[in-house]
Amino acid sequence: MSQSATGESSPGYLDLLRPRGIPLLFAGAFVGRMSVGMIPVAVVLFIQQATGSFSVAGLTMAGYAISMVVAGPVRSWISVRVGHSAALLVLSLVSGSALVALVPAAHSDRSWVLAALVTLSGCSAPPFGALMRVGWSRKLPRQWVARAFGLDSVMEESTLVVGPLVASGAVALAGPGVAVLVAGSVCVLGGLLMASAAEKGRLESAGATAGGGKLVMVARRIRWLLVVFAGVGFTIGAMEVAVPALATEAGRASLAGGLLAILALGSAVAALLYGRRDWHVSASARLIVLALLLGSVAALVATAHGLGLAIALLVLAGAAIGPAVMTVYLLADALAEGAAAKTHSAILVNVACNGGAGLGAAVAGMAIADFGVSRAFLLSGSATAIATGLGFALFVRDRNLAPLPSVVTDCSA
């Protein structure tokens, strides 16, 4: 591992940005992730305007989300095969250009062309966050990584707030077409910034004793982690649908955005505080507890009477989400050795979360329509608990078959 910092155990946040190349990686990741936050608002409103149908817009965005998940392993393979720099450059150019091409393509009056371009953008969506974390892991002392990932979580939540605001502002000032152009341009800019500082050339693979650097071997080594994170993602996705429905059911639809912001704020603050503490419980144990806490809180929302109690529970849910996501990222890094394996691991856990979130959103939408909002929360909490149990069973089995890093299993982690 390249060490560009001192061995100081309690760095300030500015210290995390001092290693060579990290400032550009950080700036690029922030800009690139902002495009991810812009896309749902910009693309949905643009396609609705172009086709006159929210149904077409919704199906198109479903294609974007599905293609992001399905093509995740391919993007991981590309990132290792050609190096982070080239992968970021190519993927951002393809993804951003596909978005920009939506504007002239709207004149063709062919919905399938718009859907194909949005799907292409999803397939080639650059792994900004995953490669940012790999960059930090490669350049910082191991004891600094937890705090760096906490800062990364705050950045991620911030872009999910700023992105939609920028897209909404562009729509209000110049229309959905301009918002789409800005989203595509921001994606390319983020990729260019990160590519200028990211690792170049094909990445090395670790030896077999470290789990190997091949995609299949890495996936097998972290399979329990993927299952748990997919369960966490399920509730995250479900809440994105169920929380607005909860506000609407209470007759306060205008509060939907505020409730989601409370959830995001609770997640960001909790991750920031969580990353500052030196824990004496293994990371795997912390993740299992946090995932079960999230599932339990989601189920409890189903019993809440009135928005007051629901808001308090959403704050608690956010306090579980941020640290859980951060712990997954730390485990994904610890379970992989070498740049190739770390890249695969970082991207695969994102794929698991996004896949779980997409499924959770779809299931929650159907549950709300058929059974009501309360059942949707109960269902999401149960799914997360079940996935956590399955993941834990796989963890125990894998731990008995092969040794795991101490940060995963030792109580002194």
CA angle 245, 270, 138 (to 5 degrees): 115
Q: Which of 15, 268, 242, 243 is nearest to 162 (CA)?
A: 268
Of all helices (H) and strands (E), which one includes residue 261?
helix 256-276
User: DSSP label at 198?
Assistant: S
DSSP readout, 110-121? -HHHHHHHHHHH
Q: Which of 39, 54, 68 is nearest to 233 (CA)?
A: 68
CA distances from 346 to 1, 79, 158, 341 (A): 16, 11, 20, 9
What is the pLDDT, as a whole number, of residue 4?
A: 43
400: which residues sit within 8 A by CB, 6+ positions away?
none
Per-residue pLDDT of the chain (413 residues; tens, 9 = 90+): 444 444 445 677 788 888 888 999 999 999 999 998 898 888 888 988 888 877 788 788 888 889 999 999 999 999 999 999 999 999 999 999 999 999 999 887 788 899 999 999 999 999 999 999 999 988 888 888 888 888 888 888 888 778 888 888 899 999 999 999 999 999 999 999 999 998 888 776 544 334 456 888 899 999 999 999 999 999 998 998 888 888 888 887 777 777 887 888 888 889 888 887 878 888 999 999 999 999 999 999 988 887 888 889 999 999 999 999 999 999 999 888 888 889 999 999 999 999 999 899 889 888 888 888 899 999 999 999 999 999 999 999 887 765 555 555 554 34
What is the pLDDT, as a whole number, of residue 207?
A: 45
CB 353 within 8 A of CB 340: no
Alpha-carbon gap, residue 11 to 350, rounded angstroms = 27
| CB contact burial 115-144 (16+ within 10 A = b; e otherwise) | bbbbbbbbbbbbbbbbbbbbbbbbbbeeeb
What is the pLDDT, as a whole number, of residue 401?
A: 62
CB 22 within 8 A of CB 139: yes
What is the pLDDT, as a whole number, of residue 398?
A: 80
What is the pLDDT, as a whole number, of residue 6?
A: 43
What is the pLDDT, as a whole number, of residue 184?
A: 96
